[in-house]
Amino acid sequence: MKIRRQGEYGRFFKLFIYTEIAPVSLASFAGKTTSFMEKSFIKSYVGVCMEGAVIVLSHAY
């Protein structure tokens, strides 16, 4: 039986929230004054996705 830590669920919840607000954030990429926010959001989103991928791969083996 695998034991799951509470932090894993928090990370997947964070990934879910990021995915839900991504379209709103992508709309800010159009303007020059708000494009820096989109760049930081994309970096953060990629980081959260990588965290999820590491968790999934660690449970696969």
Residue-wise pLDDT tens digits, 31-47 = 778 778 888 888 988 99
Alpha-carbon torsion, ordered 51, 19, 8, 55, to 10 deg: -40
- From residue 50, alpha-carbon distances to 28, 30, 45 in Å are 23, 26, 9
For the chain, which residues make up each domain, given as ranges? 6-60
The pTM (predicted TM-score) of the whole model is 0.68
DSSP single-letter state for residue 29: G
Rounded mean pLDDT, 9-31: 81
Rounded mean pLDDT, 13-27: 83
- Give yes or no for a contact between 41 and 25, defined as CB atoms under 8 angstroms apart: yes
pLDDT band at 5 (very low <50, low <70, confident <90, very high): low
pLDDT band at 1 (very low <50, low <70, confident <90, very high): very low
What rounded mean pLDDT belongs to the chain? 79
